[in-house]
Structure 1
Amino acid sequence: MKLTNVTLHRYDMDLVSPFKTHLGEVSKREGILVEVKVNQGISGWGEGVAFSTPFYTGETVQSSWDILTQQFLPFLREQSIEHPQDVARLLSGFQGNQMAKAAIETAVWDVYAKIMQKPLFNLIGGHKEKVEVGVVLGLQDDLQALLPQYKEAGYRRFKLKVEKGKERERLEVARTIVPPHLLMFDGNGAYNKDDFDHLKSLDDLGLMMMEQPFQAGDFYLHQQLQKQMKTPICLDESITSYHDAYQAIQLESCTVMNIKIGRVGGLTEAINIHNLCAEHNIPVWCGGMLETGISRAHNIALASLPNFTIPGDISASKRYWEKDVIIPEVELENGYVVLPREDGIGYHVDLDYISEITKDLFVIDL
């Protein structure tokens, strides 16, 4: 396999409706689509899922664009790449910038699977025919209007964004519509050690899990809270690498883990974290990033691995977009997404639509 060319498409897409958390509101999604071409004339696609501002991690679309165009791609031009894992290994010498790393690495996984004439999910060891999916509701969403619709659509896990101090009110409304064992809330790091008693007071709700109540680096606080609660604690922002996952397990900071390909630097690292969690009986699920169908397709492949036993944030394309960049779009069938059987990510890329939404282009020959 010889990489011959990489094209970056910096895009803008309007969400169907704004998505609001306590960290901010997103109404327009900016991101980076990566196309890798090889000497066999085949293309693979990946996606940089950083946001426009650094509210989720320190990365932004601009920082990803800069590191890709000025550092990663010129560096890779001088390297030999025979397997997607080579990309992960080569870029490991650069600190941070996980989402930029994942953007190029996932594109190479897609093209490699096509060269091998295998669906990506099959290539990485997945054997499921379909994956269970869940849905996320932002602060702006009317639970009484939307939850019945999502329940009827078959979603199998319901995650709520909440405001600190108003969680019970929102969760109690949700519990009248969906059973608590399918319900969770995402703290997005809003809490601190002074909130222990408040968080413990929510234990009686019998939720599926509580996601990332404390800041990313607070492994100790998560450990202490988990010791005092029956509700499983799930880590999200805390896990940016295999080492973070290992540390969380050793410290017993969580009993569930959310794996995001972009947040951990690529599919290679995501698979390694999945395997580590499986060894320690920590169930995992696949998180989402308000991404296009290209990143969603990679998530679907990842979620086919056996220890992804909890429905992931892999909503239908129509949940976020009037039109997606893949054909066919991601659709639900009774709460599941069927694994595509075509080679690579299994979806065709709508090049005309990508050209329409692209606001900046970068091309480099390797």
Structure 2
Amino acid sequence: MKIERVEVVHVAIPLVSPFRTSFGTMTTKDTFLLHVVTDGAEGWSEFAGDPRPLYCPEFVAGAEIVLRDFLVPRVVALPSPTAALVGPAVSGIKGHELAKAALETAILDAELRSYGMSLAGYLGAVRERVPAGVSVGIKESVAELLDTVEGYLAEGYLRIKLKIEPGWDIEPVRAVRARFGAALPLQVDANTAYTLADTEHLRRLDEFGLLLIEEPLEEDNLHGHARLQSRIATRVCLDESLHSARDTASAIAMDACRVVNIKPARVGGYLEARRIHDVARAHGVPVWCGGMLETGIGRAPNLALAALPGFTLPGDTSASSRYFAEDITEPFVLDDGHLRVPSGPGIGVEPLPEVLRRFTVRRQDLYGG
């Protein structure tokens, strides 16, 4: 396979409502798609980061530079670039997992399309549809939160995740439990908002029978998470702290987490994500697929990953309408609490040309063109 062109398509898509977490509020999905043209097919991927480095060190403008000046040149120089060779080719570049994931995924999409093979089949998916959970941002009031959760449950979502932060944790969770009952699969996500000094406070969440508490402490603090897990009954789930299968194995060995959230972009792509799945499954640790407010270009491959056998908890693989009034692909629609895994070649979806044109801010060739 020969790469003929690599293009960045910067898009800005309004969200249906503001999405607030402990690190900020989003009103627009402002990112870029990566378009790779080979001599056999074309591939697409979505950069999962934001314009500002608040959630993670990577950001849109920086990722474009890293791709243009460091990652793409190393990959196009390969005699026959394939997805399996992307990781080794860019291993000398430290960090930048989100940018690496975008490049690997676009090349993998093109490669699989040339074979007529779906990403789900390539990864080893065992399900044709996956259960869908939904992530609920921090609200202005408990009453607004309850109305929002009620609406999502009416739509059919099978699991609710509440974003929390100091000052917005115990009472919102208590209110949701009281309103919707103990049978509701419920979890919380702190996005690194607490410290080990908050252990006694976080222990108060034990009474609510949560599925897990996600990334309560600062990123990469495996020792702190292990200490916290030894003092609370709620299962700790790691997200931002895990960047590879090696990290995951270390965290499990330390009992720093009892659940793993796999975000393919955060770990450098779907090949490493599958390795993390394999490590966790071998240790009997459940995994689920996290979300980054993806468009259909990012959501489709996430669904393929979430169909692997170790994904035993509903992920943040919500319907397109959760975030967008209009997606840039054919919309993903909730059906009895599930989303169908794309079965077409590659990631199984493509941008709708007219919709993509309306949401495109600019285009730039990184190679060829």
Q: Which TM bucket (shorter chain)? A: over 0.9
Q: AA paired with 1:122?
A: G
What is the letter of the counterpart of residue 174 of structure 1?
A: V
Q: In structure 1, how many angstroms separate the alpha carbons of the residues matched to 2:132 and 2:251? A: 25
Aligned to 1:349: 351
Give SS of 1:201's match: helix
**Aligned with residue 188 of structure 2, among 162, 172, 185:** 185
Query: 1:78–1:197: structure 2 CA closer, same or farther, 3 Å change rule?
Result: same
Please tell me the residue identity of whatever aligns with 1:4: E
Matching residue of 1:222:
225
1:120 partnered with 2:122: no
Secondary structure of the structure 2 residue equivalent to 1:349: coil
User: Which secondary structure does the structure 2 equivalent of 1:26 belong to?
Assistant: strand
Match of 1:199 among 194, 198, 202: 202
The 3-state SS of whatever aligns with 2:187 is strand
Deviates more, 1:184-193 or 1:169-178: 169-178
* Gapped regions of structure 1 (runs ≥ 5): none
SS at match of 2:200: helix
Q: Which residue of 1 aligns with 2:22?
A: 22
How far has the Cα of 1:292 moved from its partner?
Answer: 0.9
Structure 1 partner of 2:313: 310
Structure 1: distance between partners of 2:44 and 2:181: 37
Gaps of 5+ in 2: none
179 and 43 in structure 1: CA distance in 2 versus 1, 3 angstrom threshold: farther
Residue 298 of structure 1 corresponds to 301
Per-residue deviation at 1:179? Answer: 3.4
Contact 1:11 1:32 in 2 (8 A): yes
Question: 1:319 matched to which residue of 2?
Answer: 322
Partner of 1:88: 87
Aligned length, in residue pairs: 364
**Paired amino acid for 2:230:** K
**Hey, what's the Cα distance between the residues in 1 that align with 2:78 and 2:237?**
38
What is residue 261 of structure 1 aligned with on the other side?
Answer: 264
State the partner residue of 1:358.
Answer: 360
Q: Which runs of 4+ in 1 moved over 6 A?
A: none
Q: Secondary structure at the match of 1:166?
A: coil
SS of the aligned residue for 2:216 comes to coil
User: Which amino acid is 1:71 matched to?
Assistant: F
Shift, 1:276, TM fit: 0.7
Match of 2:37 in 1: 37
TM-score, normalization by structure 2: 0.95
Query: Offset at 1:55?
Result: 1.2
Is 2:75–2:81's contact at 8 Å kept on the other side of the alignment?
no
CA-CA distance at 1:231 after TM superposition: 1.1
Equivalent-residue separation in structure 1 for 2:147 and 2:196 (angstroms) = 35
Q: Quick one: distance in 1 between partners of 2:28 and 2:19?
A: 9
Cα pair 2:13 2:29 within 8 Å, conserved:
yes
TM-superposed deviation, 1:180: 5.6
Is the contact between residue 136 and residue 162 of structure 2 (CA under 8 Å) also seen in structure 1?
A: yes
Identity, in percent, stands at 36
Query: Structure 1 length normalisation: TM-score?
Result: 0.96
